[in-house]
Structures are given as structure tokens and as C-alpha cells.
A and B are shown apart, each in its own frame.
Chain A
Amino acid sequence: MPFRPIQRLTALTASLTLLTACTANHAPDAGSQQPRSGGTLRFGLDYAPTCLDPQLVTGATPNLGLLDTLTAQDPLSGKIVAWLASSWQIDGTATTFTFHLRDGVTFSDGTPLNAAIVKTNYDKIVALGAKAGYGSQLLAGYRDATTPDERTLVVRFARPNAQFLQATSDPALGVVAAATLAKTPDQRCQGAIVGSGPFVLRSYRPNQEVVVVGGREGYDWAPASATHHGQAYLDKIDVTFVPESGTRTGSLASGQVDVIGNVLPQDEPRFDGNGFHVLSRIEAGIVLGLIVNENRPLLQDQKVRTALLKGINRGQIVKTSLTSRYKPATSVLSSTTPYYTDLSAELAYDPDGASALLEQDGWKVGADGIREKDGRKLTIDVIFGAVRSLELVQQQLRDIGVDLKLRQLDLPSLGSALSSDGYDLFLRDANRADPDVLRTLFSSTRIGAQNIADPELQNALDAQAATADAAKRAALVAEAQRQLVQHGHYLPINEKPTVVAAAATVHGLAFTAGATLTFYDTWLS
């Protein structure tokens, strides 16, 4: 059965929202000039990656265009388009995927891309297991891959796995050459990476910088979602790791770098105009919000959960402490995620409704303004990692008589709190441009996720993973989002953008569907 792209019904709502979210995607004057080749782009990245190989990294690593993927995801429509694979078919149960590879693709060491090398890549990722954390998660249930001929790859899963098509557009499943597969994971992380991408790694100094060069002879296999074909415009990208945000903004303002990552809300106005421009895109996946630990008896009470949901004033949070590039959450999924459903009515601020629910449930306001029931105070603890302001949420919930205790933890303590189930709420998000991310968080025994005991929800989540039919999948994903919100299994707060700033001389910066910055179409004037 041929693969059918996202159907009209969802494509309409999805592309409308996606379009509005992407208006800031390109430099303001990109259309008025002809792109020119050449030059070095200096990029100030806001973190130092622990590993450069996208297949192996467990945290973040920049998308430097070293690897190509079988497919690409169009950031505007969310559709999967051809890249190393020119076409594909998916069987009715979403367990067998057949890819027809493009001809004439070579890795930067001259070796050709064929079905066998893609198969070896997948086998290796599965064998590496935890050492290829995210990739092995995307390949969960992998049975085998076969290569009927040099250009055809058949991947089979032990159980339905509809997310796999989008997964083939993720750098974590990017294809590396045999030379790289022969290296140890440590050597690969340190830069022994040979791919078929438009850029080639030149040098890497951990904690300091990485340099990639463009100008790959014969590169003519860019994905349909790119705005040009052929070699990358840039000769070179110098990526410097600058974790200090003040140093980052100062470096851009003084012309020492051309682009910086992670511009904080308070720094945005400085680069809006004045010879600079700010670009942003809402991250795809689960919005920033609080996941509920439903092993806690207090939070097994749906009335308490929904009261919390109604007690959060999302509009006020965005207005008070963020900028217009952020948006109040309108679902569990962000508006740039395929199959997103607008549930803003369910997520309206309703403090009276929240209080009424708690009253009904027997929680009476005590002398200190905090509700009590059977001598127990309505105190709920929240854990979170990165520096984020939850004080406003705390105040808002205080108004309905809930005492929120904020606990900011470093990563190791967060890990032990999550593995020992020692928390009520956990502030998180999850970046992925496929709705299957819902299954990762709400139908899973993974540490940090929930396996929600709600048969209807679980059915919807399982069924969406088992259909390649876009319309059916859209309906199931919409159902799952509604269940999660109506029953208060997740307390969405706001949509989070990736925000970068660049000098006016930088054009054609683009974001992937997942809101990672890419440089293939970038040029300097």
C-alpha cells in the first residue's frame, strides 16, 4: 500500500497554525537579494555538546549538516518528504517499511550509499542500545532490515510503529559511512564522523569549538524542503560554545560572531532591528508543562488534577514573564506538531471552577488560605531542572488554595527523584515533531514517564502507533490529546520557541520541523 501523506482534514488546521508559527523563519530581506556562495559563518552556540555524533548523543548536539537522513520533514507542512530515500511504502499495520534509495549518493570519503550500509547503521544502533539512546528508542521493536537489491531497504518491526517514518527524518537515524561504524562510540563522539551531508567536519576542540566546511563536490541530493540545491553556500562554519548568555549577546553585538543560539526573553528587544534580526520557531512536541505522578494517592484524584489545570492562567504567564514569541499552551502538543488539536477551551483559566471542584471534593480552605481535608493540607511538590520561573504558577494556584512547593534540582538529583518516584509534579517538555511522543510520555514504564491507567487513552495511543493512514491517525491523536487534558494527566503551561539572533548580513537561516537551526540554505551578504 503506498504511503499517503497527511490528509486534507488535518493538513488544513495543521498548516494554518504551522504557517503562523513560521513567519519569522527567514531573514526579513532574504527575498530581495540573490544568495551568494562563500564566507565563514561564526555561530555562538549556547552549550558545549558532550558528543558530536547525532546517532550517539544523549543530550543536545547542533545540526551541522554532516549526516543526511532517509527522509526530511517539511517545517511548514509537517509532511515527510524525500531525501536519501526517493520513495517508500508502509504496510497496513505499520510494521513493514520499504524505502527506495536515491542513486548516486556518496559519503564524503567517496564510498557509495546503498541499502546495505543503511541496514548496517540500523543494526549497529540497535546493538549499541543505551549508548545510542535516542536512536535505539526510535528503533524500538526493530526486527530486522533486509536488502532485496542495492537500492531497496525493507525494515520490519515486531509491533506496529507508525512513528518510524518521521523517525527516519531525525538526525539520530542519520546515515554514516562504514568508516564511522568501524570506530568506537567514543571516537565517533569526538568527531570521527563521515556522512553524506553538505558539510564535513574539519576540527573539534571539546568544550570550545567545532569547525565544519562546505563545498562538497557533487552534492546534489538536498531534500525537497530545502530552498536550493547543490553545494551549501557557506565555505565554513565556526561554532564556538558560549554557555555564558552575557558573553554570547556581547559577542554578537560587537561583531565577533554572526549568529547566537538561545536568546533569552530579556535580550530579544536588543536584536530586533539595530542591524540584527531575531528568528524563532515554536518547538514541536509536548509543550512545557507539569507531568503528574499518578502513583501518588492525592493525584489519583481526577478532581484535584483538573482543578490544578483550571487554576493555571497561561495567558498571564506568557504576558508577564515571556515575549510574544512564546505562546500559551492550547493542548498537550504544541501548535507546530503534526496532528496538534486546539483545546484552548478546555485550557481556559477558570479559578472559580477550580475552587468549586476542590470544594465538592471536600477540600476546605484553612486559616492560612491553604485547603485541607481530613487534617491534610493540599500541598503539592514540583521538581524541575533548568532555571525556570514557576513562581507565577505558584501564586496562581495559591489563589485556589493549593500550596505548591518548588524544588529546583541539579541533573543527578533530578535523576534520583525520578527513578525513586519521589515527586508529585515534574516540569518538563519533550521535543519531537511526531505525535508518538505522547506514547513515550504517557504509555511507558520509562523513568520520568507515566503509564496512565486509563484504557481509553491507552487504546488511542496504541492505535495511532498502528496506523499509517493519516486521517485515522489524526483522529486517534486528537482523542488522546483530549483525554490527557480533560482528565488532567498533564498540566500544559506554555509553548516554547527556539530563539536565535543573527547579524543582518546572515540570510537563509532555517529551522527543522523540530525547531533545530540548520545552515544548508544559509548565506552571507
Chain B
Amino acid sequence: MALLTYVAQRLLHAVVVLWAAYTLTMLALFVLPSDPVTTMLLGGANSDMTVDRVQLETLRHELGFDQPLGRQYLTLLGRAVRGDFGESVQTGQPVSALLWNGLVPTAELATAALLIAVIAGSAVALISTSTRIRPLGGLLQSATAVGVSIPSFWLGLTLIELLSFRWRLLPAVGGRGLSGLILPAITLGIPAGSVIAQVFGRSLRSVLAEPFIVTAEAKGAGRVRIQLRHALRNAALPPLTLAGMIVGSLLGGAVVVETVFARNGLGRIAVDAVTNQDLPVVEGLVLLSAAVYVTTSLLVDLAYPLLDPRIIGTRGMR
């Protein structure tokens, strides 16, 4: 019962977060002096960069951009509540279809990156805390610092230059299936993996200093058994808390990675939508990413008790 109330409360929170994100974005876009319809008709490169005034007004009227701001907001919000996010000003495509087409490749990319991040990040953390070779531990720790601060634009181009252009192992762009996914997933996964390695490593080190580890050692448990059986589970909570943040950083990182590797996805759609101030698409993206954040943190909170049953008793349901 307590769990149900908790989930209901969280869902209410989620609705407020979504509404606030939607409204703030709308305000931000309204403050800008430019007009998405003019931008669309100007058309960017290779058009003659002129706009017919009569056509402009007709189209603005058709799309409702000539309405007072308050009414525009209420109309759009009303439609959004009913699940209709309108159409892209730029392409005329329904926003829901546009986002769905982008969501699939971005989800593939993010999942692959997350796998790389979790596996590599945990491995680095475990090795750096358990190795007897001092310099290796130090090296791995500093490597994570580099990994966190490396710009993914540079990393992506470097990987392309080496693995694709020089050694010709993997396609740089346009690769389909798994071979095309490897380089972008590594580029996106390295910063996230480094964060996991840092946080997990730190928490492992503090757990390994706890008295119960000494007890386990005294009882004759081996290094590997101590790490995997005793320390791992106790040290897993802090990195798990990061999951929400990491999912967010993967979505944000997709903007750069998808551009460098010329992949379709939410990141590319976001760049285009923001560049052209395509209001319905920007709103759709904001709602979608807010929903992803809210869902991830809800799942994380629900996962805590599985790792540490004490949490239900002590922390209670926030």
C-alpha cells in the first residue's frame, strides 16, 4: 500500500515537472524576437533568401502563429494534453512521428553506450581498487579523470581518424547495423563510463575500509570473493543514484555524437529544431526528455530497496 501511495505521489510530481518544462520552454521561445515561419520560408542555404509577405501571413495564420500568445499557449497545451503535439513548422511532419523516428536510433545508441559505460566503468573501478600493482591503480584512476573531461566532439573525430580513416576497421558514417554503431557508442560511452568508474571506485574504496571487510578477510575470504560478494553490492548504491544523470548526459551527448557521425536521432532533431526555432518540435523534445528523466529517477528509487532492504525501513518513502 505504501508503495502505491509513493508511486502515485511520484506520478503527480512528474505531471508538475512536465507542465513546468513545457511552459518555461514556451516562455523562452516567445521571448525571442524571431518567427519560426519566416525562418522556414527563408530556407537556409541554396534558397534565394527572400520571403513573399502575403504567403508568410497566410501561412502564419494557418499555423496559428498570428494568435495572441496566451491563446497560442492554451491551444498548444490543450492539444498536448490530448496527445497531439502538432506538426513541425520546418517539415510539416507530425511531431510524434518525427520524434518516434528519432527515438529508435537514439535509444539504440544510448543503450549501446550505456552497456559500454557500465561494463567498462565497473571493470575499471573493480580493477583499480583490487589490483596489487600500485601504478596500474593510479593510472586507471587518472584515466577516468581524462575520460570525464574529454570533449566528445574531439573524441569522436579522433576515433574516426584512427579507426576508420587510418586503419579502416569501421565505417565513419552511414554504417548500418552493428558496425556503424560501435564508434558512436564508444564516443558516447567513454565520458559516462568514466563517471561510473570514479563514483563506483570511490565508494568501493570506502566500503573496503569498513570493519566487516576486515572480518571477512579474517575469516579467510579471498580478494575476488570479498570484492564481488561483500563490497560490490554495498558500493553499488552511489553509482545507481547517478543513473538518472547518466541517461541525461547520454541524451545530451547524442547531440554532438549524432552530428559527428552523421546519424539520425533525437540529438540531430534537437539541433535542427533549436536552430530553426521550430516551436512544436522543441516542445515535443522537452516533454520527451523530461519524461525520460522522471521515469529513470522513479525506476532508480524503486530499485534501491532491491539492493538494500534497509532503505524501506530507515528512509521510508519520501
Contacts and interface: CB of A to CB of B under 8 A. Distances in A.
Q: Do A and B come from one complex?
A: yes
Interface of A: 42, 44, 47-48, 50-51, 57-60, 129-131, 133-134, 136-137, 184-186, 189-190, 205-209, 238, 240-244, 246-247, 250-251, 253-257, 285, 385-386, 410-416, 418-419, 428, 430-432, 437, 440-441, 444-449
A412 B50 contact: no
Given A256-B172, A447-B53, A186 B45 contact: no
A445 B46 contact: no
A413 B276 CA distance: 10
Interface string B162-177: 0011101001111000
Interface in B94-127: 94, 101-102, 105
Contact of B262 (A238, A240, A428): A240
B91 interface: yes
B315 to A, nearest CB: 44
Contacts of A50: 90-91, 272
Contact of B93 (A44, A186, A246, A448): A186
Interface stretch (B14-22, B32-40, B306-314): B32-40
**Size bracket, chain B contacts:** 35 or more
Nearest to B166: A254
A433 to B, nearest CB: 12
B264 interface: yes
A133 B90 CA distance: 12
Nearest to B32: A412
Interface of B: 32-36, 38-53, 55-56, 58-59, 87, 90-94, 101-102, 105, 157, 160-161, 164-166, 168, 171-174, 258-265, 268-269, 272, 275-277
A285 B48 CA distance: 10
Given A415-B42, A447-B50, A136 B55 contact: yes
B93 A440 contact: no
Contact of B52 (A44, A137, A247, A251): A137
B92 A185 contact: yes
B47 A129 contact: no
Contacts of B46: 59-60, 431
B45 A386 contact: yes
Contacts of A445: 53
Which 8 A-B pairs give the minimum distances between C-beta atoms? Answer: A60-B46, A412-B34, A58-B43, A240-B174, A130-B55, A207-B264, A415-B38, A59-B43
A48 B102 CA distance: 14
Nearest to B55: A130
Given A58-B40, A242-B262, 14 more contacts: A50-B272, A60-B47, A129-B59, A133-B43, A133-B52, A133-B55, A186-B91, A189-B92, A207-B258, A238-B174, A411-B42, A412-B276, A412-B277, A418-B51
Contacts, number: 184
Nearest to B60: A130
Contact of A60 (B34, B45, B264, B268): B45
12 contacts: A50-B272, A58-B47, A131-B92, A186-B94, A206-B101, A240-B262, A247-B261, A250-B164, A254-B164, A255-B168, A444-B50, A449-B50
Contacts of A385: 44, 49
Contacts of A414: 42
Given A447-B53, A448-B51, A449-B50, A250 B160 contact: yes
Contact of B48 (A42, A44, A130, A431): A431
A244 B41 contact: no
A448 B174 contact: no
B96 to A, nearest CB: 12
A410 B275 contact: yes
Given A445-B53, A446-B53, A59 B45 contact: yes
B48 A430 contact: yes
A319 to B, nearest CB: 25
Contacts of A386: 45
Contact of B173 (A256, A412, A428, A440): A256
B165 A447 contact: no
B259 A250 contact: no
A134 B45 CA distance: 14
Nearest to A209: B174
B45 to A, nearest CB: 6
B45 A250 contact: no
A256 B171 contact: yes
A411 B49 CA distance: 10
A455 B39 CA distance: 32
A208 B92 contact: no
A386 B94 CA distance: 29
A438 to B, nearest CB: 12
Contact of A411 (B166, B173, B262, B276): B276
A418 B48 CA distance: 13
Given A131-B59, A133-B41, A186-B94, A247 B50 contact: no
A415 B50 contact: no
Nearest to B44: A59
Contacts of B172: 247, 250-251, 254, 256
B275 A411 contact: yes
A60 B51 CA distance: 15
A307 B268 CA distance: 45
A208 B264 contact: yes
Contacts of B55: 129-130, 133, 136
A247 B49 contact: no
Contacts of B50: 430, 440-441, 444, 446-449
B268 to A, nearest CB: 5
Nearest to B52: A446
Contacts of B47: 58-60, 133-134
Given A58-B47, A185-B92, A240-B174, A247 B42 contact: no
Contact of A244 (B53, B93, B260, B276): B260
A177 B113 CA distance: 44
B174 A430 contact: no
A512 B173 CA distance: 28
A254 B49 CA distance: 36
Given A240-B262, A441-B50, A411 B39 contact: yes
Contacts of A206: 101, 264
Nearest to B98: A206
Contacts of B40: 58
